[in-house]
Amino acid sequence: MAIVWRPRLWKETAKVAGASEIGAAESALGVKFPADYREFIRTHQGMSPDPNVFSFVEHGRRTETTLGILLHFSAENADRVDAMYYLPRAVENMSEWLPRGVVPFATDDGGNAIAFDYRISAERPPVVFIDHGEAFVAKDGGAAPFAGCRVADTFTDFLELLHPLQK
């Protein structure tokens, strides 16, 4: 199935993410993004797919959600309306509930994270879904952060999961 990528944050069809912008985010976060993601995000930052639904198993049952806007690396736009989609800012905004070592690349329509889980592998982090409603740590420190649900082994595998809404 062909996926159509539509610009969502900027009027132009694509705002290319430079290698230096991606590298700066990697340095700030202490990670190295997977090669397939690095190549893809260069021309697709700030875009969303059609179709945008993906399925995975959560707590033993099939769950469907959507892939929203891909986070961007454009520091020049970090203080504008699209600031919530600036990857370093998104990590900062999610820091209360996002487990350390998990780096989002997008959210679903409910604000849950679609992310790379570097806790599992620093070289080949799988794609995970983190439900922010289940991820909060108890203020008394009694609860551990929710580990998330594995969605795909690679970013490319994740993109292959995208499909239209099932009726």
Ordered by start, the domain boundaries in the chain are 4-160
What are the E-state strand segments in 73-163?
102-107, 113-117, 127-130, 149-152
133 confidence band (pLDDT: 50, 70, 90): confident
Q: In the predicted model, what is the mean pLDDT of residues 122-132?
A: 95
- Residue 167 pLDDT exceeds 80: no
Contact status, residue 12 vs residue 28, Cβ threshold 8 Å: no
The CATH fold of domain 4-160: SMI1/KNR4-like (3.40.1580)
Q: What pLDDT does residue 59 have?
A: 85
